[in-house]
Structure 1
Amino acid sequence: MFLSILIVLAALLICVGLHLFNISVVADNISERLKGAWIKTLSVVVIAISSQLLLAVIFTLAYEIGLYFELGDFKQPATSMDIFYFSLTTITTLGLGSIEPDGHLRMIAGVESATGFLLISCSASKVFKHM
């Protein structure tokens, strides 16, 4: 259980740090160089979406590490692409439930969902400020 906590905390810290950096530093630097409100807003939206995709990749790696250390499994056979799909639906809080983790991997999914909800809210706030 200690290893699963360590994996999820590492993923959480990396994701929060990266996303906040992307939607603040990167988005601000790029939008300052552009002219026109529409293109500035578009650039912030693209950066926010790209950042969310990157976070799904990071959590996918967390699941893969958990699988490697046998901390759990998925109830259905899952390829890396299936796990990325699961991560993407979890981080967006959509949670379609077509595949499902068990064991300590469930903790990663719970933290990913909470992280996604908070960071999507941060992204929406940033986009709103640029509109």
Structure 2
Amino acid sequence: MEIVIATIGAFAIMAVSVLIHYQSMLAARSILDGSGLPRRAGVLVGMASVTAAQMLSVALYAFAFYAMDSWLGMGSLAGETQGSPLDHFYFSMMSYTTLGVGDIYPLGAMRIVSGIEALNGFALIGWTASFAYTLMRQGWSD
């Protein structure tokens, strides 16, 4: 039952993450369209926007890992942990970016959430690359 709950929770976080990312791109685009900023500066604004969205997504997953570990008893982190919430954030960052360093690894239902986070991160990083390409392509003509 823990795996089902973890899977549903991870898909809920994924949905929120995608919406945050989408909204950040819409906001960046609307700011840039009426701002009069040179496109080169616009690339920086756009990238800052989507990077902030990605960091927020990482933080949401980190909070879920912390809750699963500390409050819900649905898994834990093992390996070279330091016993602080920073472990959960670091592990979330490694999962989201699909780096998978391996110095910290999940146990229990957290394994499912980390896998779904990796799929989510991979998709959103690709989406960010497409958005960045669009911003830069428009910037070359300025």
TM-score for both structures, normalised by structure 2: 0.86
> Against the structure 1 CA distance between its residues 34 and 64, is the aligned structure 2 distance closer, same or farther, given a 3 Å change threshold?
farther
- Contact 1:34–1:40 at 8 Å: present in 2 too? no
The answer to whether the aligner puts 1:72 opposite 2:85 as a matched pair is no
Per-residue CA deviation, residues 29-88 of structure 1 (Å, 9 max, x unaligned), is: 222214211001111111111111111000011112212211111123442111101111
Specify the alignment match of 2:135 in structure 1. 130
Over the residues paired in the alignment, what is the CA RMSD in angstroms?
A: 1.3
Specify the alignment match of 1:29 in structure 2. 30
Larger radius of gyration: 2
The one-letter code sitting in structure 2 at the alignment partner of 1:96 is: V
- Contact 2:94–2:101 at 8 Å: present in 1 too? yes
Distance in 1 between residues matched to 2:36 and 2:42, nearest whole Å:
6
- Compare 101-110 and 29-38 and name the one that shifted more: 29-38
Distance in 1 between residues matched to 2:36 and 2:103, nearest whole Å:
41
Specify the alignment match of 2:46 in structure 1. 44
Correspondence 1:32-111 to 2 at 5 A: 32=33, 33-67=35-69, 68-76=71-79, 77=81, 78-111=83-116
The one-letter code sitting in structure 1 at the alignment partner of 2:76 is: D
The one-letter code sitting in structure 2 at the alignment partner of 1:28 is: R
Specify the alignment match of 2:12 in structure 1. 10
**Which structure shows the higher strand fraction?**
2
SS in 2 for 1:101: strand
Distance in 1 between residues matched to 2:36 and 2:56, nearest whole Å:
24
Specify the alignment match of 1:117 in structure 2. 122
Specify the alignment match of 2:140 in structure 1. none
TM-score for both structures, normalised by structure 1: 0.92
- Paired residues in the alignment total 130
Q: Which of structure 1's runs of 4+ aligned residues deviate more than 2 A?
A: none
The one-letter code sitting in structure 1 at the alignment partner of 2:7 is: I
- Compare 63-72 and 109-118 and name the one that shifted more: 63-72
The gaps in structure 1 that reach 5 residues or longer are: none
The gaps in structure 2 that reach 5 residues or longer are: 137-142
